[in-house]
């Protein structure tokens, strides 16, 4: 399984079934924090739900259609980054991410994304990474902005959030820009 030590405090590792209890506990204690922008949290009611999520992640990995990474801070799961919608014909992907409420503001997500984007462009041979975030989700939008992604546009009424449609801001990075930027 994929494991990468970023520094003394931070390690990235591929999600595994044995992460289910810890991951569920993190999402459960972060329920209010996550629920604002991530409706899936309301359907994650047990460790079994988290195991089903992990099963889907591992199946996508086996199908070469994604990779779900746990952000480990001082040995504990702090959040998740998910490469999804892998398009190998066009060498591109999109990502999603979330952090546990107790791990916000430590720079863990930005540091983790930087390492994973290096991996995506250099090792996986991808040419494009896209990040979408709700227009009002300033914290989530700050990650691609800090990493030099280009704001490419806004998709109007992109998601139904609890009966209200929200716009998504689309950010993109291509390999040539990343190699010059990082």
Among 27-41, 73-87, 100-114, 133-147, the range scoring the smallest mean pLDDT is: 27-41
Q: Radius of gyration (Cα) for the chain, nearest Å?
A: 16
Stretch 71-85: mean pLDDT? 96
Q: Is the pLDDT score of 5 beyond 60?
A: yes
Domain limits for position 118: 3-181
Stretch 119-126: mean pLDDT? 95
Domain count, the chain: 1
Q: Quote the CA–CA distance of 59 and 12 in Å, as a whole number.
A: 19
What CATH number does residue 173 fall under? 3.40.630.30
Q: What is the pTM of this model?
A: 0.93
Q: Quote the CA–CA distance of 30 and 38 in Å, as a whole number.
A: 11
In this structure, what token pair is assigned to residue 53? 């999520």
Model pLDDT, residue 153: 97
Q: Is the pLDDT score of 64 beyond 60?
A: yes
Percent of the chain with pLDDT over 90: 87
pLDDT in tens, 149-167: 999 999 999 999 889 999 9
């Amino acid at each position: 399984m994929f494991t990468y030590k970023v520094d003394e405090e931070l390690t990235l590792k591929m999600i595994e079934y044995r992460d289910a209890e810890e991951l569920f506990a993190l999402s459960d204690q972060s329920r209010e924090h996550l629920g604002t922008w991530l409706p899936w949290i309301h359907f994650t009611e047990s460790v079994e739900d988290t195991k089903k999520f992990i099963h889907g992640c591992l199946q996508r990995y086996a199908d070469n259609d994604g990779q779900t990474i746990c952000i480990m801070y001082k040995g504990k799961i702090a959040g998740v980054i998910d490469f999804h919608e892998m398009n190998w014909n066009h060498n591109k992907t999109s990502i999603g991410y979330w952090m546990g409420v107790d791990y916000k503001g430590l720079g863990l997500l930005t540091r983790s994304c930087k390492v994973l984007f290096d991996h995506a462009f250099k090792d996986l041979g991808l040419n494009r990474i896209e990040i979408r975030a709700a227009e009002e989700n300033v914290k989530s939008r700050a990650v691609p902005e800090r990493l030099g992604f280009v704001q490419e546009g806004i998709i109007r009424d992109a998601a139904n959030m609890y009966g209200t449609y929200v716009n998504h801001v689309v950010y993109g990075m291509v390999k040539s820009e990343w190699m010059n930027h990082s």
